[in-house]
Amino acid sequence: MHYILTLILISSFLFAKSSGFPLVIKEPYGNALFDVTQDYDREISAVGFIKHYKKSSSNSQKSYSNAFDYLSSIQPSYGSQMHLIKVDGNANITLRKTVNLNEFNEAVSILKTPTNGYFAGGHSQDGSLLLLKLDSEGNIVFKESFGTSQYDKMSKLVALRDGGVLAVCSSATSKSPNENPFGTGLGSIDIYLVRFSSDGSKVWSNKYGGGYDDIGIDAAETNDGTIVVLSQIKRTGSSSASIMRISQNGDKIWMQSFGGEKMVTPYKILKLRENKFVISLTQKNEINKEQIRLIKFDIEKNIEIDKVIDSVYDSVLMDIKEYSDSNIIGVGYTRDKSDTDALAMAFNRDFRVLHQEHYGNSNYDKFNAVSILHNSQAIAVGVQTDNSSQEGNMWMVKLGKNLKAPQSSALVVKKRVIVKKATTKRKIKKKCKCC
């Protein structure tokens, strides 16, 4: 453990002195960043995980009379812990904090608090859900461990207008211990939503789902305080996306699904300034390639635009955000055989492609999230992998409005996502050129 702490201090010093964007932070065993936000002082904060090494405290000469005590003594020697990184506008690291908890865990989401602190959310590797409130220096103000007795997993924290947060999660369906699991099935997965007040008190929790696997993905609060929830429904051989509107108290108002005939996977829901919504999906084409699909709809589930961006590669937008001029930026990845690269795309309000860039080495590189900065630049975070390594690194890239990365001499634009056509439900547009 002393070795790890020393390594963290040394790497922080080196990066603080010598790094600019793109920022790559390397630690043993692999790590990644999953979410990012801009602080009120215009620094940038990102959250993810870092692997920690545990020295075994067990004595090889010790004998055990209980098998469970023995299994506990040989727990995995390393695992992930929440990790917070703060950098200034030049990518100088001003803070690195590992939130050391008893159980291994990963952070998936970060939100700002009015005091320039954070809500951070994630899950432990044993299936518990975690909500932490941190001050501006990353110190724990409170920690809430919650969930069911089943295996739970968090997808997103969503900021609410009352200062609270909504945890969008998934949970294995609860069953009576008297049921025969081989007669009734081993159980499907339900959407699991938990609402917290600004002080971390649980307001309500609900499960939603049918006879298939229903996986909570994301959510957005409307202007009237109701919430639109994005989820995935998995069936044998097919997958669809679902949107559900619920009241402030968690009561279902309506539900709408997309897909069924195709393998559809949802990734993100974005509330627009006009109180309408965009969801980022993918669907498989006739040659089994994932294609980006964007759907715009209103609060009464009326669809305004439904467009597929066809590409010769597997392409996914993991996160989307809206600029002040109503253009949209999306980040994710594109994959060609064994080569996965980070993808950034910009669209106008009609989902016409304005710009796109494709970054990475000949290994595995991916953007997980993006945040638009005060100066209309954007910061994307994810995972970068060296060509000579199997371990992922924490990665931050600053992008201009045209998605160029002027500081990115270390990044190589190897190829663009070649858009073949763009279709909507209402009309088919001519082939468009990529910028």
Tens digit of pLDDT per residue, the chain (435 long)? 333 333 333 343 344 444 589 999 998 888 999 999 999 999 999 999 998 765 554 445 566 666 555 555 545 456 789 999 999 999 999 999 998 888 888 999 999 999 999 999 999 988 899 999 999 999 999 999 999 877 899 999 999 999 999 999 999 876 555 554 444 334 489 999 999 999 999 999 999 988 889 999 999 999 999 999 999 998 887 899 999 999 999 999 999 998 766 799 999 999 999 999 999 999 999 999 999 999 999 999 999 999 999 999 999 999 999 999 999 999 999 998 889 999 999 999 999 999 999 998 888 999 999 999 999 999 999 999 998 888 999 999 999 999 987 654 445 444 445 455 444 443 333 333 333
Q: Cβ distance 84 to 132 under 8 Å? A: no
State how far the Cα of 27 lies from the Cα of 281, in Å rounded to an integer.
Answer: 32
DSSP at 428: B
pLDDT of residue 8: 36
State how far the Cα of 339 lies from the Cα of 369, in Å rounded to an integer.
Answer: 20
Q: Cβ distance 134 to 111 under 8 Å? A: no
Q: Find residue 280's DSSP bridge partners.
A: 268, 294
pLDDT of residue 337: 82
State how far the Cα of 90 lies from the Cα of 21, in Å rounded to an integer.
Answer: 7
pLDDT of residue 64: 60
303-311 β-sheet, strand order = 264-271, 277-284, 290-297, 303-311, 419-423
Helix (H) or strand (E) holding 4: helix 2-18
pLDDT of residue 185: 39
105-112 β-sheet, strand order = 105-112, 118-124, 129-134, 140-146
Q: Cβ distance 294 to 270 under 8 Å? A: no
259: left (phi over 0), alpha (psi -120 to 50) or beta: left
* Structural domain boundaries in the chain: 1-15+24-53+78-145
- The position carrying tokens 């006739």 is 286
> What is the CA angle 55-103-131, rounded to 5?
145
CB atoms within 10 A of CB 280: 26
pLDDT of residue 191: 95
Give DSSP secondary structure letters for 121-148.
EEEETTS-EEEEEE-TTS-EEEEEEE--
pLDDT of residue 68: 54
State how far the Cα of 172 lies from the Cα of 139, in Å rounded to an integer.
Answer: 32
How far, in Å, are 49, 330, 385 from residue 126 at the CA level? 16, 32, 27
| HSE toward the beta carbon, residue 184, CA cutoff 13 A | 12
State how far the Cα of 178 lies from the Cα of 307, in Å rounded to an integer.
Answer: 48
For residue 419, give the 3-state DSSP assignment. strand
